[in-house]
Amino acid sequence: MKIKYTIPIVFFMALVIIEKENNIISRVSDKLKQTPQTSLQSNSLSDLLLEHSGSRLPPGKRNITLMKWRLEDYSEQKALKRGRKHILLLATTRTGSSFVGEFFNQQGDNMFYLFEPLWHVEKMLTLESGGTNATAAAKAYRDVLQQLFLCDFSLLESFIDPLPVDHITAALFRRESSSSLCEKAVCSPVVKGVFERYHCKTRRCGPLNLTMASESCLKKEHIAIKSVRVRQLDTLRPLTEDPRLDVKFIQLVRDPRAILASRMVAFATKYKNWKEWAMGGNVPIDDDEVRKLKGNCDNIRMSAKIGLRQPLWLRGRYMLVRYEDIARFPMKKASEMYRFTGIPFTPQVKSWILKNTQASKETSGVYSTQKNSSEQVEKWRFKLPFKIAQVVQKVCGPTLKLFGYKFVSSEEMLTNKSVSLIEDKVFNF
C-alpha cells in the first residue's frame, strides 16, 4: 500500500528537480546568448562554463585551477539562484513607498533594486485625454515586470523615450534612486556633452548601459522593484505562475484621508476647488476628482481583499503593510517584511533605518528628542478640513474599514489628539 504511493511521489519529485535544473541551465545559456561577443558555437555545459569564465585559450593552455574554481562558483551560483526572490513593492503615491523601497535598496550587494521602472511605460501609454487604457497598461506593466525580474530590460527599453541606442540611455527615470544602477559594475565612463537629468549621486557615471545593468542584475541574489502604477493585484497573477520566478508582493497602504491631505499640499492648484468648497465657498467638488478618489480606493481595496483571502496562487506571496505602522515601528515592520520575503535582514538595512528614523526608541517605548512619529503620522488631521474628511469617508468607507482606520464624526474628533484613528490590526499570519 505504502510503496504504491511512494513510487509516484519519488517520481514526481525527481521530475520537479529535473525541471528546476533545466531552468537554471537554460537561464545560463540565455544569459550567454545575450552577449554575442562570447557566442562561440557551444553545446556542452563545460564549454558554456569555459566561455563564461572568459577563458578562451586553446585547450592545452587553459588554466585548470581557474576552471575548477569556476565550476565550484557555478554550483554555488546554482544554489543561490534556487533561493532567488523577486520582490514587488506595490503602493500608490503618497504612501511613503520611496522610504519603504529604501529598506530593499539598502540591503547591500545581494539585492538588485529598481525604482519605478514602470514610469516609462505609463508615460508612453498616456493618451491625449490624460489617462491610460487600463487594460492595455495592465498588460504592459505585467510583461515589463516579468522581464525585469529576469534581468531583461529589452521590453522596458522600448518604452524609454528617446529610444536607447545600443542599450545605452541617458534618460532612465530616477536612476540615482537605485543604488544598483549606480554601482561600479554599472557605471560607465562619463561622456562629455551628454546631459543626464537623473545622474548618479554616489559616483560620476556616463549614460546607463543596460547591458551592464542586466549583467549585474543576473549576478545578484535577489531583485526588488517598487511601483506605484499597478492598479489590480490579480493582473499580476501570471508572474506567480512563471516557474522561473518566486514572487513576493508587499502592498503598502495608507489612510486615504491622509493621502488626500498630502496631495492637496503637493498639488495645491489641482485641489483649489476642494479648498474653496471646504471653506464654505460655492464651488462644487469636481465630480471627476471624486470619481478618481473612489476609483483609487476601490482598486486598493480589491487588491488587498484578494491578497488577504490568500487564494492558492497567492499563498505565501502576499503581505499587507500600513504606512502608519511602518512610521511608528519601522524596525519591527522592516524585520517582518524581510521575514516574509525569506531574505536575511542585514545590518546595513538596520543601520539605515536607525539613521533615518527614531527606531532606536521603538523597543524601549520612549519617544524623545526627535520628531514624535506617532504624532507625525497623524499630523494630517490638523490640515484636512473636516468637510473633505467626510467626503473621503463617504467615498472610501469600505477601504477605511478594511484597513482599520477609524471614522471621524466631528471636527472635534478629527483634531482631538487623544483619539487615535489607527486601530491595531494584524493582517498577516
Ligand X SMILES: *[C@@H]1O[C@H](CO)[C@@H](O)[C@H](O)[C@H]1NC(C)=O
Binding site for ligand X (CB under 6 A): 63, 65-66, 133, 135-136, 166, 168, 188, 209, 211-212, 367, 372, 374-375, 412, 416-419
Work out how close the CB of 150 gets to ligand X at its nearest, in angstroms, rounded to a whole number.
17
DSSP sequence for 212-227: HHHHHHHHSSEEEEEE
Work out how close the CB of 65 gets to ligand X at its nearest, in angstroms, rounded to a whole number.
4
CA end-to-end distance (rounded Å), the chain: 37
Q: How far is CA 16 from CA 145, 270, 322, in A?
A: 25, 55, 37
- Would you say 247 or 258 has its CB closer to ligand X? 258
Q: How far is CA 281 from CA 260, 284, 357, in A?
A: 20, 8, 40
Work out how close the CB of 232 gets to ligand X at its nearest, in angstroms, rounded to a whole number.
15
Any idea what DSSP says for residue 405?
B
- Would you say 87 or 138 has its CB closer to ligand X? 138
Work out how close the CB of 212 gets to ligand X at its nearest, in angstroms, rounded to a whole number.
4
- Would you say 269 or 368 has its CB closer to ligand X? 368
Work out how close the CB of 20 gets to ligand X at its nearest, in angstroms, rounded to a whole number.
28
Work out how close the CB of 12 gets to ligand X at its nearest, in angstroms, rounded to a whole number.
39
Q: How far is CA 215 from CA 1, 30, 296, 352, in A?
A: 51, 12, 37, 27
- Would you say 166 or 287 has its CB closer to ligand X? 166
- Alpha-carbon distance 118 to 121, whole Å? 5
Burial class (CB in 10 A: 0-12, 13-18, 19+), 381: buried
- Would you say 131 or 243 has its CB closer to ligand X? 131
Burial class (CB in 10 A: 0-12, 13-18, 19+), 406: middle
3-state DSSP helix/strand/coil % of the chain, to nearest 5: 55, 10, 35
Work out how close the CB of 413 gets to ligand X at its nearest, in angstroms, rounded to a whole number.
7
- Alpha-carbon distance 427 to 74, whole Å? 40
- Would you say 91 or 187 has its CB closer to ligand X? 187
Work out how close the CB of 359 gets to ligand X at its nearest, in angstroms, rounded to a whole number.
15
- Would you say 139 or 272 has its CB closer to ligand X? 139
Q: How far is CA 65 from CA 55, 72, 118, in A?
A: 12, 11, 44
- Would you say 43 or 135 has its CB closer to ligand X? 135
Question: Which cell is 146 given?
Answer: 516579468
